[in-house]
Amino acid sequence: MNLQQNLQERLRQKPVLLMTHLVLGYPSLAVNRDVISQMAASGVDCIELQIPFSEPMADGPVILKANQEALAAGIKVQDCLAFAAEVAAAFPQVNFLFMTYYNIAFRYGLAGFIQRAAEIGMKGFIIPDLPPEEGGEYLRLSKESGLAAIMFFTPTSTNERMREVAQQGSGFIYCVARKGVTGQHTEVDSGLAGYLARCRKATDLPLAVGFGIASREDVALLEGKADMAVIGTATIKLVEREGAAAVGPFIRSLAGN
Share of the chain above pLDDT 90, in %: 82
Would you call 189 a catalytic residue per the annotation? no
Residue 252 near residue 223 (C-beta atoms within 8 A): no
Domain hosting residue 120, numbered range: 3-254
Share of the chain above pLDDT 70, in %: 94
Would you call 59 a catalytic residue per the annotation? yes
How far is 113 from 106, CA to CA, in rounded Å? 8
Residues 6 or more apart in contact with residue 5 via CB below 8 angstroms: none
How far is 203 from 4, CA to CA, in rounded Å? 12
Structural domains in the chain (count): 1
The alpha helices in the chain, defined as continuous H runs, are: 3-10, 29-41, 61-72, 77-90, 102-108, 110-119, 136-144, 159-168, 190-202, 216-221, 233-242, 247-254
- pLDDT at residue number 178: 53
Say which CATH number the domain at 175 has: 3.20.20.70
Question: What's the mean pLDDT in 127-138?
Answer: 95
How far is 27 from 69, CA to CA, in rounded Å? 8
Tell me the range of 108-112, 154-158, 207-211 where mean pLDDT is highest. Answer: 108-112
From the list 48, 55, 217, 227, the catalytic residue is 48
From the list 34, 55, 59, 119, the catalytic residue is 59
pLDDT tens per residue, range 172-207 = 999 998 543 343 444 555 688 899 999 999 999 999
